[in-house]
Structure 1
Amino acid sequence: MSTPAMARRGFLKGALGMGALAAAGACAPGGGTSAAPSKLAKPTVSASTSAKGEITIWNRSGDLFKVFDAAIGKFREAHPGVKVNHLAVDIDAKLANTLISGTGVPDGSFWDDAKIGGQSEHLYDLTDLIAPYRDKVAPYKLSVNTVGGKIFGVLWDLDPGLLWYREDILQDAGVDPAGIGTYDDLLTAARTIKEKDPKTKPIHLDKNPFLGQLWLEMLANQQGTSLADAQGRLRLESAEYRRILTWIQDAVKGDLVTHAPYLEAADINTLDGGQQVFVPWAIWWSFAPQQLLKATKGRWRAAPLPAWTPGGARSGAMGGSSFIIPAKAKNPELAWLLYEFLCFTEPGCTAVYGPNSIYPGGLSTSVPSFTPALKPDKPLFKPIDALGGQDLWKVAVESAATIPAAAPIPVWWAQSVDYLGDNTQRLIEGKMSPDDVIAESAKKIQRNLIDRA
């Protein structure tokens, strides 16, 4: 399937394989590495006339590869002396092993933020190169790519969480979306809609343990926390996680939840059938009304996520990717010039996100993490017909500005889904309490993952 969401689907597929990285010997963020990372100094050539050489760049296949291929064409225009071999590669299967073996290493590669910290010993330390941009990138993006005070990723996309809702159903029920300022307000709105139409179960909760945990982390990030701190220490036993899990329990007990797997048939049917009305999810859910929802195309809208407390952050990050430069790259300086162009210049951001032959309206499944590009009144992608012509750019940019900083994602995160992700599903099914989820998950994550690392 060739769709805008394939970029995000690629993230999901890749993150599901994170456990393999741990088995391959990746080290946890904050825990030190077996060798000091190499530091990449500022390139000695930067002018378009003086940069010369050849680089090999890896990217995932699909529509996102085509977007970057076109954007790299703009880089070639600016740097005619640089030959870029842009290759579509199964990064999830090849990159980690290639970094470890040191054989056939590319000069740069696309990679999930969730994986970068665990392979830092095999990557260039980009701290000095990122330094001029530190104040011009989203704090969240900077924080998840920082391990031991060093930055290992060239910061690309930002995936703000949004509240997707059916505008027509809210209007019929007399619910003003602007009045949904907190998660308690969301429960109240869901009850109002259910009173109007008892067959609705308005709020989507995902049935996939991995996605459910990724979603949980978005809600935790909203509150300025995450499953582990910068030193890799578990912080699940907290008021923030208890608040989320208790809210889930309240929604379930109120019969306000549709528990369905992400955009599979059961999910699509209830979305199109009016049973689901609210989907608190990442920006990449925009794929659904554009490509999958037929009966309700044009009726969905996006708003900032509710806050957990009045005045709190109205968004959190859900997923994300950056670029890495392997420590054994042959031409790391030229790889940096490419990624600097794509991530930290106006022409580069426009080339990636703006209208192109692949997406005539622009790439609308994320926004740049480069804050000078995040201007509400200067959209990089166009209003979306499938959202009734809504200016999703403005909503996403304003939401992204509220995302708190975070910590590097621990290498054991995907393995923890066997505990926290599974137990969150049991909570939704009414088989566990919030305290049970926290106590049992924390015990097993600490014993089986952290203490063994």
Structure 2
Amino acid sequence: MHLSRSSTRLGALGAAAVVTIALAGCGPSIGSDDEADSTRLQAPTGDSPSGEITIWDREGDLFEVFDAAIEAFNEKYPDIVVNHEAVDIGGKLQNTLITGTDVPDGVFLDDSLVAGFADHLWDLSDVLDPYLADIAPQKVDVNSLDGGIYGVPFDLDPGLLFYNAAALEAAGVDVDDIETYDDLLEAAREYQAAVPGSGPIHLEQSAFLGQLQLEMYASQLGTSIADENGELRLDSPEYEQILGFLDTVAQEGLGTRAEYLGPTDIATLESGQQVFYPWAQWFSFATEQLLPETRGDWRAMPLPAWESGGARSGAMGGASFILPREGENSELAWLFYEFLMFDEAGYTAVYGPNEVYPGGLNTSIPSYLPAADPSNPLFEPLESLGGQDLWEVATEAGAEIPGSVPTPTWWAGAVDYLGNNVQRMLDGDLTPAEVISMSTADIQTNLVDRQ
């Protein structure tokens, strides 16, 4: 089910890559104080709000999770009818917002796309204000633009190092020695010596996912492709260090080059050729559903730090809920999302055991910190991880994610340059320095300067 969720997410992002860049200039600009005030959503007043709302989600496991939570929502708000629709958001949202026809009241959207639609969305600063201090800073940052907040934060997707504990133990590699990425390289060398022909570390072959993973590494170092003003900052010591690490893995043959959970990826994970997977928490789905031969052999730990004592996690992906200004009942849609994310009954319905995830939704953790309490798990330990308490590992890792900045509207379009150039580096055609210089020039000329 999570593979369906991830595949749909990638499809939406790919289809929307150019769309969001164009759409960013289609709506009304947000400028004067009066105009800004008119775009700030206010919560409904009255003790018995009523009406109908239309909510768009993508088909898949999360659609089913949110759909099941509507019953709990209606226990609190019995007079609000929720029309929950599975929609090809990447293919439909742009035209809907431009034409203003049949606009939904709320939409589930990837964080990297929120900024591109901001001109058409409610600024949620006022309704989110009571909760801001208790939301993971990174999630607030990526949903912010020009002083406004345009998404209700959903999940936090901490990066973790998944590893095949059984295979590593058989090879005599002690994962407790891995604290930095240099340690990870050394562990990979040890494993390869014990298992000739293996490629212990995952190297992502998808240009989009490779760029997303690159940003996870950058997040650990407190940086990203652009600063808070949308100015490029690829040309930096941080990106030199990250690309240098990936280049070392490729040049020394310490990695397995494969697309995330594609046939080659799964085959090498099952055979013990690939034993280290630095990825977002949602890789847990693979250990449960796609790796039957090594089920129970896998474990998760915090990512290695780039320097001793550095952050042991970074954000990789994530989604939020947006509320279009043309929606008929946006204020009621806010109540729906407020319930799901900030009400204990709501976030327990989402993350706790349900028909879709009998042990609870374990592919992310809540971005609302009271819900992500390490001592109060919402999902159960995973048998596929040998009974490990992934909740504890993920919530502690999530707490180490540094703050971020708004995602630039051109992020998805940058895959044509940065994402592809990283792949060329892994092919041996470019050096890390060339990836930085070429990507910087192309993104600046073709994306940033054309806004």
Give the TM-score of the pair, scaled to structure 1. 0.95
| RMSD (Å), alpha carbons | 1.6
In 2, Cα distance between the equivalents of 1:163 and 1:258?
15
Equivalent residues of 1:11, 1:320 under 8 A apart: no
Residue-by-residue CA offset, 1:257-313 (whole Å, 9 max, x unaligned): 111111111111111111001000011111111111121111111111111111111
Gapped runs of 5+ residues in structure 2?
Answer: none
Q: What residue in structure 2 maps to residue 217 of structure 1?
A: 215
Equivalent residues of 1:140, 1:404 under 8 A apart: yes
Give the residue type in structure 1 aligned to 2:10: L
Bigger drift between 349-358 and 404-413 goes to 404-413
Q: Report the 3-state secondary structure (helix = DSSP H, G, I; strand = E; otherwise coil) of the residue aligned with 1:199.
A: coil
Q: Report the 3-state secondary structure (helix = DSSP H, G, I; strand = E; otherwise coil) of the residue aligned with 1:408.
A: coil
Q: What residue in structure 2 maps to residue 41 of structure 1?
A: 42
The offset of 1:376, in angstroms, is 1.5
Give the residue type in structure 1 aligned to 2:446: N
Q: Report the 3-state secondary structure (helix = DSSP H, G, I; strand = E; otherwise coil) of the residue aligned with 1:17.
A: helix
With over 3 angstroms needed to count, the CA separation of the structure-2 counterparts of 1:126 and 1:302, relative to structure 1, is: same
The offset of 1:398, in angstroms, is 0.7
What does 1:41-440 align with in structure 2 at a 5 Å threshold? 41-45=42-46, 47=47, 50-440=48-438
Give the residue type in structure 2 aligned to 1:43: P
Equivalent residues of 1:60, 1:90 under 8 A apart: yes
The offset of 1:32, in angstroms, is 5.9
Equivalent residues of 2:43, 2:127 under 8 A apart: yes
In 2, Cα distance between the equivalents of 1:375 and 1:344?
13
Q: Report the 3-state secondary structure (helix = DSSP H, G, I; strand = E; otherwise coil) of the residue aligned with 2:375.
A: coil
Residue-by-residue CA offset, 1:53-108 (whole Å, 9 max, x unaligned): 21111111122111101111100111111111111111111112211211101111
Q: Report the 3-state secondary structure (helix = DSSP H, G, I; strand = E; otherwise coil) of the residue aligned with 2:2.
A: coil
With over 3 angstroms needed to count, the CA separation of the structure-2 counterparts of 1:159 and 1:27, relative to structure 1, is: farther
In 1, Cα distance between the equivalents of 2:355 and 2:368?
23
Q: Report the 3-state secondary structure (helix = DSSP H, G, I; strand = E; otherwise coil) of the residue aligned with 2:430.
A: coil
Equivalent residues of 1:59, 1:87 under 8 A apart: yes
With over 3 angstroms needed to count, the CA separation of the structure-2 counterparts of 1:32 and 1:228, relative to structure 1, is: farther
Give the TM-score of the pair, scaled to structure 2. 0.96
Residue-by-residue CA offset, 1:374-412 (whole Å, 9 max, x unaligned): 112211111111111111111111111111111111121
Q: Report the 3-state secondary structure (helix = DSSP H, G, I; strand = E; otherwise coil) of the residue aligned with 2:292.
A: coil
- Give the length in aligned residue pairs: 446
In 2, Cα distance between the equivalents of 1:303 and 1:19?
32
In 1, Cα distance between the equivalents of 2:229 and 2:25?
12
Equivalent residues of 2:135, 2:368 under 8 A apart: yes
In 2, Cα distance between the equivalents of 1:156 and 1:270?
33
In 2, Cα distance between the equivalents of 1:182 and 1:96?
43
In 1, Cα distance between the equivalents of 2:127 and 2:439?
39
In 1, Cα distance between the equivalents of 2:246 and 2:57?
37
Give the residue type in structure 1 aligned to 2:286: A
The offset of 1:346, in angstroms, is 1.2
Give the residue type in structure 1 aligned to 2:129: A
Q: Report the 3-state secondary structure (helix = DSSP H, G, I; strand = E; otherwise coil) of the residue aligned with 2:370.
A: helix
With over 3 angstroms needed to count, the CA separation of the structure-2 counterparts of 1:413 and 1:200, relative to structure 1, is: same
The offset of 1:179, in angstroms, is 2.0
Equivalent residues of 1:17, 1:414 under 8 A apart: no
Equivalent residues of 1:376, 1:398 under 8 A apart: yes
Identical counterparts, % of pairs = 54
With over 3 angstroms needed to count, the CA separation of the structure-2 counterparts of 1:320 and 1:33, relative to structure 1, is: farther
In 2, Cα distance between the equivalents of 1:39 and 1:238?
36
In 2, Cα distance between the equivalents of 1:358 and 1:173?
37
Q: What residue in structure 1 maps to residue 449 of structure 2?
A: 451
Q: Report the 3-state secondary structure (helix = DSSP H, G, I; strand = E; otherwise coil) of the residue aligned with 1:244.
A: helix
The offset of 1:197, in angstroms, is 1.4
Residue-by-residue CA offset, 1:18-44 (whole Å, 9 max, x unaligned): 32324543149xx96797561112321
Equivalent residues of 2:374, 2:396 under 8 A apart: yes
Q: Report the 3-state secondary structure (helix = DSSP H, G, I; strand = E; otherwise coil) of the residue aligned with 1:5.
A: helix
Give the residue type in structure 2 aligned to 1:368: P
In 1, Cα distance between the equivalents of 2:229 and 2:51?
39
Bigger drift between 376-385 and 272-281 goes to 376-385
Q: What residue in structure 2 maps to residue 4 of structure 1?
A: 2
In 1, Cα distance between the equivalents of 2:450 and 2:202?
35
The offset of 1:432, in angstroms, is 1.1
With over 3 angstroms needed to count, the CA separation of the structure-2 counterparts of 1:408 and 1:23, relative to structure 1, is: closer
In 1, Cα distance between the equivalents of 2:71 and 2:399?
30
The offset of 1:7, in angstroms, is 2.4
Q: Report the 3-state secondary structure (helix = DSSP H, G, I; strand = E; otherwise coil) of the residue aligned with 2:321.
A: strand
Equivalent residues of 1:202, 1:275 under 8 A apart: yes
In 2, Cα distance between the equivalents of 1:129 and 1:22?
25
Q: Report the 3-state secondary structure (helix = DSSP H, G, I; strand = E; otherwise coil) of the residue aligned with 1:259.
A: strand
Equivalent residues of 2:20, 2:117 under 8 A apart: no
